[in-house]
A and B are shown apart, each in its own frame.
Chain A
Amino acid sequence: MAKRKITVTVDEDVLETIRAQGDDNLSAAVNDALAEHARRIGRLAALRNMLDHWDAEFSPIPTVAATQARRSFDELDGIAEPDRGVA
């Protein structure tokens, strides 16, 4: 596969940790990280398109459902107490 040279800026402590472990192949590490990032944003883009399709096709999401979804993720992230009233 064709390669392209780029300049990137990374945290110094991350770089030192990698070098301390004897891994000098930074290009491969950066390539792997970017490939994973590309996969993640590619999935999120497809998810957004799916959501947009549903929004266009069906009725709007009720406020109560959106609020419960937000609260569920707040609970997942540990920034809200468990909601005993859901599930």
Chain B
Amino acid sequence: MKLPVILDRAGLDELAATRPSSTIRALLGEAWARQRSVVVPALVCAEVCRTAARTRAVEAVLSRHDANSGERPAIEVVDTTFDLARSVGAILSRSRAGSEDIVDAHVVAVAARHGGGLVVTSDPDDITRLADAVPAARIIVRPAG
């Protein structure tokens, strides 16, 4: 099973930065070498798209591809479907967490549907706590920079 990279706010922030960190570049380079998907829950975009400048930067990084050579955008945005929302609710419930953790719970739910994943985050403790609600999924956390 090829577990993906999942971007939390810090991961997407770093990706959209003028000068991405060596850490995120190295992680995505390894993801490419191992043929892994890089995904971001749509709700994470809401955390990053707070100003016009940040929104433009996120739009640029998420849409960047050369369609003429068969490329697709490198980062897959995962919309919140009803199925995903149910998983998020279950994770929050099992973790006895509140709605303040809803974005992190989306990250964990997206990882869980793949069987796990490498989460790039600035909230490793929160992600790890929520990941305990899906013990069958192999979820590890790494900082973005």
A26-63 contact mask (Cβ, 8 Å, vs B): 1 or 0: 00000000000011111111111111001000100110
Contacts of A43 in B (CB 8 A): 37-38, 71-76
Bound CA–CA A4/B76 (angstroms): 29
The answer to whether A66 touches B117, judged by C-beta atoms less than 8 angstroms apart, is: no
Number of B interface residues at 8 Å Cβ cutoff, please give it: 39
How many CB-defined contacts (below 8 Å) exist between A and B? Answer: 101
CB within 8 A of A51: which of B25, B35, B143? B25
CB contacts (< 8 Å) of B138 on chain A: these are 76, 78
Q: From known contacts A73-B30, A75-B140, infer whether A42 and B70 are also in contact, taking CB-CB under 8 Å.
A: yes
Q: Indicate with 1 or 0, residue by residue over B115-145, a CB within 8 angstroms of chain A CB atoms.
A: 0111000001000000000000010111100
Interface flag for B27 (CB, 8 Å)? yes
Which of A40, A69, A78 has a CB less than 8 Å from the CB of B30? A69
**Could you tell me if A47 and B26 are in contact, using CB atoms closer than 8 angstroms?**
no
Q: A54-B20, A72-B118 are in contact. Are A61 and B37 (CB under 8 A)?
A: no
Interface stretch, picked from B40-48, B61-69, B79-87, B94-102, is B61-69
